[in-house]
A = this chain, B = another copy of it.
């Protein structure tokens, strides 16, 4: 039996007064760790999350094939710096892990500024920010620094050190499976490979964890599978390792960039009209907040893999400002100060409300389909005829009765009527209680699938 009414609230921020602050705290604790697509930073991150939720860590050996890809060597780093002639660290990995190009090979040498220059990355147009750069699949190395740092470096010789290792090891990712009433799965996926960057994607990692923690004690209709994996190679490895169970994924959501102050953005799945796409559009509409719904684009986060033509999963993406559309993106500007507690709370409420729609989207049968039933007699409707029945509650009752012919789910009714999904779901509960409505047997429930 699925959860009872109210177990998963719909667009009720007041039900989660502290969630934003809690998420910010979690982001702060994970911020200093140097993550990459492999290595100890990922393990450390997953182990911290494991204190809150039962994440299972998977370790996939270097060289394991994954479709067109191969699990790379594992990268770890202990220290990195550029020292000037006086031995001062003018660029220091220990102060900010973005300073080293992610996946840099080990280096230990002395170079003139001229020789060093091709390995230095800055953002001249944002002179106080350090860019975030990677060199995953090429043997290269480099440093990222602010443009002001670079400008302040005199000619001369520098001591360059990257104390990293690139060796056979493992790619690590985490999984949580919350078993529900059925084997049908809702997938929630957050990439975990970025070092000290908050919006992208400590916001997604911590929010997914909090959602898992919230769902764990509930009796759910769907099973929920959370994936915490490095972007691209991680989801590709997960899909290659789990091909047999992919067919159970009925809905999915990539969680990223959920903490900036911008409005919510939902990016549609490749299908464009999957139930997750329609549910997200209704949740954002019902929020009565400004928002965007973007069409699918084969560029972005791991929806690129889930929505590749060989899988074509109904996986969308919830964000606030999408990747590449905020100046702080992939720079040191994407830090703790960039996080907005209200946005974190609101993103959590929206993801939970989306799950509300998926859990409660059923198709009902009006058991009194010929003409309206006498609602007044049953006490579900105001007995007085002298008040205008213009309240959303009354209209929700009439809409559910009118459309419940076995061909329209609550989500269909929400789309047609413009009435909040939550109000329609409440109306359906009331009508079920009075015996005027029955849930259509699942065997026939073609429309909600």
Contacts and interface: CB of A to CB of B under 8 A. Distances in A.
Interface in A310-333: 310-312, 324
Interface in A360-387: 366, 368-374, 376-377, 383, 385-386
Contacts of A359: none
A324 B67 CA distance: 60
Nearest to A305: B371
A402 B131 contact: no
A299 B389 contact: yes
A136 B369 contact: no
A51 interface: no
Contacts of A309: 366, 369, 401-405
A443 B135 CA distance: 44
B305 A372 contact: yes
A16 B137 CA distance: 43
A400 to B, nearest CB: 9
Nearest to A403: B309
A394 to B, nearest CB: 8
Given A385-B136, A402-B308, A403-B309, A373 B298 contact: no
A67 B298 contact: no
Contacts of A69: 371, 374
A402 B305 contact: no
A369 B307 contact: no
Given A298-B399, A386-B134, A405 B312 contact: yes
Main secondary structure of the interface of A (DSSP, over half): loop
Contacts of A372: 68, 232, 236, 304-305, 308
A297 B402 CA distance: 9
Contact of A298 (B68, B270, B402): B402
A310 B68 contact: no
Contacts of A377: 137
Contacts of A403: 309
Contacts of A388: 324
A133 interface: yes
A96 interface: no
Interface in A42-99: 66-69
6 contacts: A232-B372, A270-B402, A298-B402, A299-B398, A308-B371, A309-B405
* A-B residue pairs, 7 tightest by C-beta: A310-B369, A310-B370, A298-B402, A309-B405, A298-B398, A68-B373, A133-B386
